[in-house]
Amino acid sequence: MDYVIELKDLTKRFGSITAVDKLSIKVPSGKIFGLLGPNGSGKSTTIRMICGIIKPTSGHGTVLGFDIVKESEKIKKSIGYMSQKFSLYEDLTVKENMDFYSSIYGLDKKERIEREKIIIDMMELHDRENQIVGTLSGGWKQRLALGCALLHNPKFVILDEPTSGVDPVSRRLFWNTIKKLTSEGLSVLVTTHYMEEAQESDFVAFMFNGHLLTFGTPSEIIRENNSNNLEDVFIKYVNEHGGMDKL
């Protein structure tokens, strides 16, 4: 089996604080992987390490087969990233935003034209190319942000709370798009505080205070914890590991 992420005892310390503690995990390629946990659980630090932005204190890992320390530049060129705030330029048009990100990714003119056409079709952005991004609704900004993250045709995309503040209809359309992309071979890591969304993932991991509490399919984790849904599991873990006052 091919794995998009393979981590072994990955640890990151900031002085006396251990942000991530001996994280070991293997995520199959072509799947949606939900990385879950409350704020301060170590999710962001983990993502920064697998993106090659910061080096681990100890342990090792690979992303798309590239070593996260020795081949971090190859990882950065091979992944897409969509942040919670979308990272769009609101005073530019949809087309100008895509042109900007195409240049950042180093696409030549032919590649840019081809990829932008594909993204416009994929995200149904027809007739909006010349619209100022600041005038778009949250759902349309979300589509554009995802499209920009996919312009260079990455094999792996990281979505950091991509549906925060977006209406339920747009959230559902977004997830339908993600599922279609993974069916075509894209690997996805997503963080979210919406547990009903997390259940759409193929695999999920719960982190708390830098530790991995569990990893598996949503149905496996729900069954093992004798719960009805992931939200019940989340609350159970928080109560077992320090209570809501630790959030």
CA–CA dist 23, 89 (Å, integer)? 36
CA dihedral 164, 81, 12, 24 (to 10 degrees): 90
Question: Between the CA of residue 61 and those of 96, 124, 155, what are the distances in Å?
Answer: 36, 37, 17
- Cβ atoms of 140 and 60 within 8 Å: the answer is no
Least confident of 3-12, 38-47, 81-90, 137-146: 81-90
Question: Between the CA of residue 81 and those of 72, 144, 153, 203, what are the distances in Å?
Answer: 15, 13, 12, 19
CA–CA dist 210, 37 (Å, integer)? 10
Angle at 100 between CA 5 and CA 150, to 5 degrees: 30
Q: Give tens-digit pLDDT for 220-245.
A: 999 999 999 999 998 888 888 765 54
From 146, 154, 174, select the one nearest 74 (Cα to Cα): 154
Length of the chain: 247
- Amino acid (one-letter) located at 104: I
Q: pLDDT band at 246, cuts 50/70/90?
A: very low
Look-up: residue for tokens 């873990």?
237
- Amino acid (one-letter) located at 50: I
3-state secondary structure of 169: helix
* Euclidean distance between the first and the last CA atom of the chain, given in angstroms as a whole number: 36
Domains of the chain, each with CATH number or no CATH: 3-246 (3.40.50.300)
Q: Give tens-digit pLDDT for 160-216.
A: 988 887 788 888 888 999 999 999 999 999 998 889 889 999 999 999 999 999 999
